[in-house]
Amino acid sequence: MVKQERAARTRRSLIQAAAEVFAEEGFVPASLGAISKRAGVSNGALHFHFANKNALADAVEEEAAAAIRRLTEVARARHGDSLQAVVDATHDLIRCLVQDVVVRGGFELACGVARRTKSPLRAEWQRWVEDSLRRAEGSGSLADGVSWMDAAHVIVAVTAGLEVLGGEDASWLSHQRLTGLWALLLPRLADQQELEALQSGGSQPQAPALAPTSALLRGPYLHGFPEQ
């Protein structure tokens, strides 16, 4: 049992370290030596858990996808088939990009041209947004003439754009920036009877910004921490 727990901790440390290095450097420049050094383990220990860099990258993307799956499940449990669930999930996603290096590293891998595998992370997010907008249309939450597919395409494009832009300028990942975008989108997307109840800033109080430490913000995100 002790050995299993130690192995699980080592694997987790390697995924965390890999996510940090991928987020900072990208997939191609990242070296296994840099990752093992960041994790504080030997190269032999790294190869015991992961055969190569691709296997490590897959593990980062899979763990990031699991994090996205958890936040979307929470949003739907809280708000059902309403647009508010989608609004809340986008705010949680942006917050994860700032505070969770595995999610950030996963998205860095997902948009890299060096690994042309199907990203489970982007697929997870797009699938949930499309399903949520389909449900919202079915429940009468969308405005007349707005198709769930068009709405989903807009939201996926907006969040992908914020993610990419945030890699260079962290102000794109601020709560205010996303709130302003939803304030523009909701009057066009939402049924008028439901619009007044929708909160473009999300329905949950925003947690105060964490101090930018090496475990949270590295590389381009050090240009500035988003305001909350």
pLDDT tens for each residue of the chain, 228 residues long: 677 888 899 999 999 999 999 988 889 999 999 999 999 999 999 999 999 999 999 999 999 999 999 999 999 999 999 999 999 999 999 999 999 999 999 988 887 656 656 677 888 899 999 999 999 999 999 999 999 999 999 999 999 999 989 888 989 999 999 999 999 999 999 999 989 999 999 988 765 443 333 333 333 333 333 333
| Rounded distance between C-alpha atoms, residue 24 and residue 19, angstroms | 9
DSSP secondary structure letter of residue 1? -
Instruction: Please list the residues that pair with 142 across neighbouring strands.
Output: 190
Residues 86, 133 contacting (CB under 8 angstroms)? yes
pTM: 0.83
The percent of the chain in helix, strand and coil, each rounded to the nearest 5, is: 70, 0, 30
